[in-house]
Amino acid sequence: MAAAGYTNPLRDARDRRIPRVPDPCALVVFGVTGDLARKKLLPAVYDLANRGLLPPGFALLGFSRRDWGDADFSQLAMESAQKGARTPWRDGVWERLAASIRFVPGAFDDDEAFDTLQQTLIELEDSHGIHGNAAFYLSIPPPAFPTVLKQMQRTGLADSGDRGWRRVVVEKPFGHDLASSRDLNQLVDSVFTADDVFRIDHYLGKETVQNLLAMRFANTLFEPIWNANFVDSVQITMAEDVGIGSRAGFYDGAGAARDVLQNHLLQLLALTAMEEPVSFDADSLRIEKVKVLGAISLPSDLHAYAVRGQYEAGWLAGERAIGYLEESDVPADSTTETYAAVRLGVETRRWGGVPFYLRTGKRLPRRVTEIAVTFKRAPHLPFPVTDTQELGRNQLVVRVQPDEGVTMRFGSKVPGTAMEVRDVSMDFLYGEAFTESSPEAYERLILDVLLGDATLFPRNLEVEASWRVLDPLEAFWVGSQPERYRAGTWGPAGSDAMLRRDGRAWRRP
């Protein structure tokens, strides 16, 4: 029998052995020939089918400006799935999925194509019994959003009628500043109701990010020390070893702060610093995240505590890497940053005075995303100073990717006759602790969209609160030159100087 106080009869007592499968529905992907659809979305749909998580009445619709029929789209989906799927290839699964595939050719300003799409969905009610349920994934360039949303409004695609549901999935970037994000939110909210809008920040679909919440709120161990009394500082890093590849058109003019800091890093900060939600549902999480995002402060001295950089040619993993200005389609005089670092504060009783250092960059030595919480030193050490020379600070590192897991660093006695204390690490590795492999972030998020579970999707107020942090930073950087750093190094010297000024140093993951 459960101990008193440990059961909540109001909570959903779902049997976890029975997987949650969505209602019969259609998933419509706009921009299905694009990079995201081919690399992530189509493989994720196959993986969901392979795991038996799609309903029997499921239809996959592609919309794109190609003179294609269903068979051509089916071929693209098969190739994408074979290349990118996480689960093994099974002909039977594919054949069932392929039978549900439809393609609607057209450009976004083509009224007739949208009428055909509407008609196709009506036909799928008879053939697949989708009951009017449909999710529309906007995997399209951001400037196309207004056109597509207006087409959906005009044709009634956004209206579920009185039978099913209609949902829309919006990819980042959610605008390029507060004003444009508000415009975008208003536009989306004028076509869909707020509960039917799913903004994707794929970091929230990652197991390790969700584990941060499990770690904090399912244990008694961490929460009592998760505050300014015990925490010295927090570092949140998202480092990439790749350059911008063929994304210059999107990246140049946007830069690292808009591309990563505004969304992924601030979401990670919010989950690290927020108070416990009353329950693990979309509204309760949103309330806490908005509160903490609203409490973020920028340093008064941005010259000292905000750094932007741009990579120059260098060497990475034994290979020569070209500089940002040499990348194709990047203007020779571009001042776009490929590295951004900033010190933020969280003005709450829990976090007052604790610096949160955020950094992200391209062409850094390795691909790694982690949250490192460093604790204060013990107020007193009853050992001779010489015995604790190699004792650092306690640290808890949540590795989001790769090598997903958690590492705890603490002091331990070195074997021998002296009382020498040195740092050791205790490691939890996802791959070793669990036999099931983690689903891809997009797999989890697409399933949640079809289930109507918005827990892992940032809401408009969160997005706006994040832009409120970023706008003054971007304004401060306007007209300035980014500091150069060599590809294959850990970013510009100014970023190291920023932490040195505080008597700290960046971790070298």
The catalytic residues are 264
Residue 65 in the binding site for ligand NAP (CB under 6 A): yes
φ, ψ (nearest 5 deg) of residue 334: -60, 135
Give me the sign of the Cα torsion angle 282, 287, 289, 293: positive
Task: Please choose, from the candidates 28, 111, 108, 116, the residue with its C-alpha nearest in 3D space to the C-alpha of residue 73.
Answer: 28
Nearer to ligand NAP, 32 or 330 (CB): 32
Nearer to ligand NAP, 84 or 492 (CB): 84
DSSP string, 27-90: EEEETTTSHHIIIIIHHHHHHHHHTT-S-SSEEEEEEESSS--HHHHHHHHHHHHHHH-SSPP-
Single out the residue of 25, 57, 64, 445 in contact with ligand NAP (rule: CB under 6 A).
64
Contact string (CB under 6 A) for ligand NAP, positions 25-54, x = contact? ------xxxxxxx-----------------
Nearer to ligand NAP, 132 or 439 (CB): 439
Single out the residue of 108, 136, 251, 351 in contact with ligand NAP (rule: CB under 6 A).
108
**Closest approach of Cβ 325 to ligand NAP, in Å?**
22
Contact string (CB under 6 A) for ligand NAP, positions 124-163, x = contact? ---------------xxxx-x-------------------
**Closest approach of Cβ 249 to ligand NAP, in Å?**
8
Single out the residue of 171, 196, 327, 420 in contact with ligand NAP (rule: CB under 6 A).
171
Contact 160, 132 (CB under 8 A): yes
Which residue's C-beta sits nearest to ligand NAP? Answer: 34
Residue 168 in the binding site for ligand NAP (CB under 6 A): no
Strand-pair category, 231-239 with 368-375: antiparallel
Residues 314-333 that bind ligand NAP (CB under 6 A): none
Q: What residues pair up with 369 in beta bridges, in sequence order?
A: 238, 401
Nearer to ligand NAP, 73 or 356 (CB): 73
Residue 212 in the binding site for ligand NAP (CB under 6 A): no
Contact 376, 293 (CB under 8 A): no
Q: How many residues line the site for ligand NAP (CB under 6 A)?
A: 19
**Closest approach of Cβ 262 to ligand NAP, in Å?**
13
DSSP string, 276-324: PPSSSSHHHHHHHHHHHHHTEE--S-HHHHEEEEEEESEEETTEEE--G
Contact 509, 238 (CB under 8 A): no
Task: Please choose, from the candidates 26, 96, 24, 27, the residue with its C-alpha nearest in 3D space to the C-alpha of residue 57.
Answer: 24
**Closest approach of Cβ 182 to ligand NAP, in Å?**
18
Interface residues toward ligand NAP, by CB under 6 A? 31-37, 64-65, 107-108, 139-142, 144, 171-173
